[in-house]
Structure 1
């Protein structure tokens, strides 16, 4: 894949930024969206609060007007934790909205152009928590919904040459992860015991999996959930 324009949500840091860096290194143009802009983004960047539906739509209109969008990486995620007995019902709708609606909104913006050109790549970033990680009901349910949507969209869009896949990372060295699991904490030690590789993923490793599905030669892979989790899904099975 070369000379493609790739829309990436949550692109200012972590996995999203690693995807943007890899996309740029392969001669493509990353188009990043996030609430805060990084200082040295390697492509186009648009600051947007995804909780604002109208502002998100406006940013997408500008992006599509500026040029074609060949691929979408729905990386943005919003997480709320809690045991089932402690979940705040007011957290449910925002969690579903920000994990599912944003992915739908991004995909819908890029879709007409992809269909017209009979080529496109969509990768949804989900999570290992969909297999049943404790204390993650809202987030796991939202990401599981995105995995189901991945399969539905793959069936709907295959006739236009558009592939739709998901990458489900295991625990990854990101700011979101560290906000819940400090280095050397008992919580982290317990988590690492469930991962055969006994370590976290680097964002670049997850980006590699995502970008493999964006490749020109990945055109016969669609509707798949790639679990890049150090073997964690084996332990969860």
Structure 2
């Protein structure tokens, strides 16, 4: 309706078209200060929101736990009492992270090398976990890979580099751990870290979008099927949280960060500790009635992108006066 009205304004008052064009020339300069603007209303809070004994006596297995978001979630779970096991392909990075987190929290953190793309390696790693600590009470599938690329330039190797880790690897590990939990009659909370574009897709990251959508479908399916065994499955769809690993492949020049900030209703990017708090809650006994859920955690980015007229928030007060005057001159339906 509003779009039709604006079009009619231009048609009925062609001499005013240039004024309207100027009014709708949506500059982003005024939004470049978002980090110091509305972001002040939405400060990040890194403090653990759950009691420090929430995960006492529980084992948490986190893939991709050596760096970035995985490290933050491991730190949070360890702080809350869990005995954590972190996995990835780089054992030296894992071991350093395990030492640092254990020293900070006073709880054990173990490092186990695992390439989740290889089912035999996954089986061996889960054997090691089971012998070391027993089966996990919490499993967080966080290991991922991504890079920006025009889809016409994707190679089979590039496609597999993402889907083998994100979808196939997550399936291998989840099913291997799940089968053993069922056999042991042990319940668990299972969480996948997804992305907001898994729901609607996105150009230039097609393998990631397809793989993340597959993971969400897998976890919703298992939530329905394996609830009878005491297993919960949920996923968190993330918006932009700046980590070195992710942004080096998704925004290598840094030119898109300002664009992301300009469209964020909260005026800032997310912080790893914020995800860690949410992940801890979803995996905790406080969320025992939550399963099969896909939670969006994006600072409002998706709704900002989805609204057809949301860019009008960039129009200044003076520009709105011009637009309003033109609209008032419009007669008829």
TM above 0.5, one fold? yes
State how far apart, in whole Å, the 1-side matches of 2:288 and 2:115 are.
32
State how far apart, in whole Å, the 1-side matches of 2:171 and 2:188 are.
15
Q: Is the 8 A contact 1:182 1:188 kept in 2?
A: no
Q: Is the 8 A contact 2:59 2:83 kept in 1?
A: yes
Matched with 2:269 is 200
Matched with 2:72 is 18
TM-score (norm 1): 0.91
Q: Is the 8 A contact 2:116 2:170 kept in 1?
A: no
Q: Is the 8 A contact 1:80 1:138 kept in 2?
A: no
Q: Report the Cα offset of residue 142 of structure 1.
A: 0.6
Structure 2 residue 300 is the aligned partner of structure 1 residue 231: yes
State how far apart, in whole Å, the 2-side matches of 1:193 and 1:148 are.
32
TM-score (norm 2): 0.66
SS of aligned partner of 1:31: strand
Q: Report the Cα offset of residue 38 of structure 1.
A: 4.3
State how far apart, in whole Å, the 1-side matches of 2:135 and 2:216 are.
26
Q: Is the 8 A contact 2:66 2:97 kept in 1?
A: no
Equivalent residue pairs, number: 236
Question: Tell me, which stretches of 5 or more residues in structure 1 are unaligned?
Answer: none
Greater mean deviation of Cα atoms: 82-91 or 171-180: 82-91
Alignment of 1:93-108 (within 5 A): 93-108=160-175
Q: Is the 8 A contact 1:194 1:232 kept in 2?
A: yes
State how far apart, in whole Å, the 1-side matches of 2:115 and 2:58 are.
25
1:164 is aligned, of 222, 233, 240, to 233
State how far apart, in whole Å, the 2-side matches of 1:128 and 1:78 are.
15
State how far apart, in whole Å, the 1-side matches of 2:142 and 2:215 are.
11
SS of aligned partner of 2:256: helix
State how far apart, in whole Å, the 1-side matches of 2:299 and 2:264 are.
6
Question: Tell me, which stretches of 5 or more residues in structure 2 are unaligned?
Answer: 1-54, 103-108, 307-333
Q: Is the 8 A contact 1:72 1:106 kept in 2?
A: no
Matched with 1:65 is 131
Q: Is the 8 A contact 2:65 2:88 kept in 1?
A: yes
SS of aligned partner of 1:39: helix
SS of aligned partner of 2:96: coil
Matched with 1:191 is 260
Structure with higher helix content: 2
Q: Report the Cα offset of residue 80 of structure 1.
A: 3.3
Q: What root-mean-square deviation, in Å, do the aligned CA atoms of Structure 1 and Structure 2 show?
A: 1.9
1:120 is aligned, of 188, 212, 218, to 188
State how far apart, in whole Å, the 1-side matches of 2:141 and 2:288 are.
18
Matched with 2:251 is 181
Greater relative CO, 1 or 2 (CA 8 Å, sep 6+): 2
Matched with 1:216 is 285
SS of aligned partner of 1:30: strand
Matched with 2:111 is 45
Q: Report the Cα offset of residue 86 of structure 1.
A: 2.3
Structure 2 residue 128 is the aligned partner of structure 1 residue 74: no
State how far apart, in whole Å, the 2-side matches of 1:98 and 1:110 are.
17
User: What are the superposed Cα offsets for residues 20-72 of structure 1, whole Å, 9 maximum, x if unpaired?
Assistant: 11111111111100122241413111123334443232122111222121111
